[in-house]
Amino acid sequence: MAGKEIEAHPKEKIEELGRGIVKDIRSGNNPKFVTYARKRSNILFDQKNGYLKLGKSKEERDFLNVAQSKRFMQTIAVAAKCHKFVKENLHTTIRGLYYQLKYSLGEDVDENIFSEQSESNPLIEDIEVSLDLTRENLNLNANRKGVLAGNMKVMDRFGDEKLEIDCSKQGRSGWAIPSDVDNDIDFVDVKAKYAIVVEKDALWQRLNEDGFWKKENAILITPQGQAARGTRRLIRKLADKGLPIYVFTDSDAWGWYIYWTIKTGSINLAYMGSEVATPEARFIGVTMSDLDKYEFLNKLTMNASEVDLKRAQEMISYEWIKKSKPWVVELERMISSKKKLEQDALQGPRLTFVDDYIKDKVKNKDFLP
């Protein structure tokens, strides 16, 4: 799992794709581009290993097919640009790539290769899947979010420098998790008993101020909402190092889905499969059952909106969730009571209550699967 990015060889793989096409043309064959279909019907839940992945349904793009030749040409143009970025050893975003593609035909050509970024985005994913590479291997940065503190060092080979960053010496700021945590970055000296992922930065700051991660010898992470690709990969890598992963979110469908995304991966990133999934993750809270354990929380609930309840219904219908009894119980309780709860509410009795809440849950292994 962790080995893939090291042996990615994106430059060679793109060149191989190019050579294949040239060979086809020279020998009078119809050049083809083959990838796995990313449509919903080809997204499967791997029951045994506990994550979302693509099935075996393939998609072909032929140059000599009027309906496919434009997309074929576009796909090759995207691959060529990525090849250039990798060769130059420079990074950009999928938006930067789009602008280069739009620019590249020059001003004397009327036709645009692309008129909207929504045309180039799926082709990047096609290439990722087809060549078994990630966007990060193609030097395309994804959005980044997420902050970390804890007894861990990062070795960042950045440009000409080799920088050691001590995540226990970042003060109130924490270490900002980059968009790519695979290439040119190593996690060394990870000395922690577990990692805890806290949905909201506000709570992360609270716990960081209390020195929670020092006292517990934990790695304290916030994805700041739904976890970006880099943060999901980081969590996967910490799990690979043997750290238990605990997740702490709001008690509503959105918070709970942050957990599920970390655990099983998401529908959108199903094509990345096990690389962005951490099936070993466990859920700490907030749960609807916390209302029974912590009397005061009953005063601090909020009304769930129609949208909240619809999303909860949707979650129950997902194959990978509906088989988990305790989660069905939680979701049904939310739907019938029409209530939700924020993690911030745990500050009600005193600001440091949230520290004890997590410690108790970890100590008693009071998790949802």
Q: Is 121 in the site for a second copy (CB under 8 A)?
A: no
Nearer to a second copy, 35 or 251 (CB): 251
Residue 277: its H or E element: none
Helix, strand counts (H, E) of the chain: 13, 17
Residue 162: its H or E element: strand 161-166
Under rule CB under 8 A, which residues in 210-239 are in contact with a second copy? Answer: 210-211
- The tokens of 173 are what? 């700021």
| Cis peptide bond prior to 276, omega within 30° of 0 | no
Q: How far is the CB of 115 from a second copy (least distance, A)?
A: 11
Catalytic residue among 99, 103, 271, 357: 99
Q: Is 347 in the site for a second copy (CB under 8 A)?
A: yes
Given a contact cutoff of 8 angstroms between Cβ atoms, the answer to whether 259 and 283 are in contact is yes
**Residue 58, Cβ neighbours under 10 Å: how many?**
12
Q: Is 201 in the site for a second copy (CB under 8 A)?
A: yes
The span of 1-9, 32-40, 281-289, 291-299 binding a second copy (CB under 8 A) equals 291-299
| Contact letters for a second copy, residues 141-180 (x by CB under 8 A) | x-xx--x------x-x-xx-x-x-x---xxxxxxxxxxxx
The span of 10-18, 206-214, 233-241, 315-323 binding a second copy (CB under 8 A) equals 206-214
**Residue 6, Cβ neighbours under 10 Å: how many?**
9
For a second copy, which residue of 122, 225, 273, 348 counts as binding (CB under 8 A)?
348
For a second copy, which residue of 12, 132, 209, 292 counts as binding (CB under 8 A)?
209
Using DSSP, state whether 29 is helix, strand or coil. Answer: coil
Nearer to a second copy, 126 or 180 (CB): 180
For every residue of 340-362, DSSP letters joined together read EB-GGGGGSS-TTHHHHHHHHHH
Residues contacting a second copy: total by CB under 8 A: 56
The span of 10-18, 243-251, 340-348, 358-366 binding a second copy (CB under 8 A) equals 340-348
Local structure of residue 104 (DSSP, 8 states): T
| Burial grade of 98 (CB within 10 A; 0-12, 13-18, 19 or more) | buried
Given a contact cutoff of 8 angstroms between Cβ atoms, the answer to whether 140 and 182 are in contact is no
Active site residue 99: yes
Q: How far is the CB of 345 from a second copy (least distance, A)?
A: 5
CA-to-CA separations, 224 to 80, 147, 302, in angstroms, rounded: 34, 8, 21
Which residues lie closer than 8 Å to 199 by C-beta, 6 or more apart? Answer: 222, 223, 225, 248, 249, 250, 255, 258, 343
Q: How far is the CB of 26 from a second copy (least distance, A)?
A: 31
Q: How far is the CB of 239 from a second copy (least distance, A)?
A: 21
Q: How far is the CB of 180 from a second copy (least distance, A)?
A: 8
Q: Is 345 in the site for a second copy (CB under 8 A)?
A: yes
The span of 207-215, 263-271, 276-284, 325-333 binding a second copy (CB under 8 A) equals 207-215
Distance CA 44, CA 319 (A): 10
Local structure of residue 365 (DSSP, 8 states): T
Name the amino acid, one letter, at 333: R
Q: How far is the CB of 344 from a second copy (least distance, A)?
A: 5
Under rule CB under 8 A, which residues in 70-109 are in contact with a second copy? Answer: 85, 88, 90-93, 95-96, 99-100, 102-103, 107
- The tokens of 40 are what? 């919903």
Q: Which residues bind a second copy (CB under 8 A)?
A: 85, 88, 90-93, 95-96, 99-100, 102-103, 107, 141, 143-144, 147, 154, 156, 158-159, 161, 163, 165, 169-180, 185, 201-202, 205-206, 209-211, 295-296, 299-300, 342, 344-345, 347-349, 351-352
Give catalytic residues, as residue numbers.
99
